[in-house]
Amino acid sequence: MSPKWPVEFGVGKPWVRHKDGGLEMFYSIRSEEYGYRIGYATSLDGLDWRRQDECAGLDVSETGWDSEMVAFPALCTTPRHTYLFYNGNGIGKTGFGAAKLLAVED
């Protein structure tokens, strides 16, 4: 997977799972301009990935503990829902958050 923005210099901490006959991946993106963000990509074979970062479903908040960065996604699937755990400002200095992935169930 190659950089999407000219100021992007890091992609890492991938979380891959099977979905709809293929694979999906959530990962951290690091750039000079935006800091850390969460990205999203899909693949049919695990070799060729299509970046769709706008579909990650989570961005920084206007204010608060995750207003500067969201990073290091981890998925947890329960019988009822799938949650995405992530770190906020300062690489999780004040803790972590959990967001329910709506697209998985809807």
For position 104, what pLDDT does the model report? 41
- Check residue 1 and give its pLDDT: 66
Average pLDDT, the chain: 89
pLDDT at 105: 38
Mean of pLDDT values over 5-13: 80
Q: What CA–CA distance (Å, rounded) separates 35 from 69?
A: 6
List pLDDT tens digits, range 10-22: 888 999 999 889 9
Distance CA 14, CA 71 (A): 11
Spans of all domains in the chain: 8-105
Q: How far apart are CA 86 and CA 96, in angstroms?
A: 6
Q: What is the pLDDT of residues 35-66, one digit of tens each?
A: 899 999 999 999 999 999 999 989 999 999 99
Structure confidence at residue 33 (pLDDT): 83
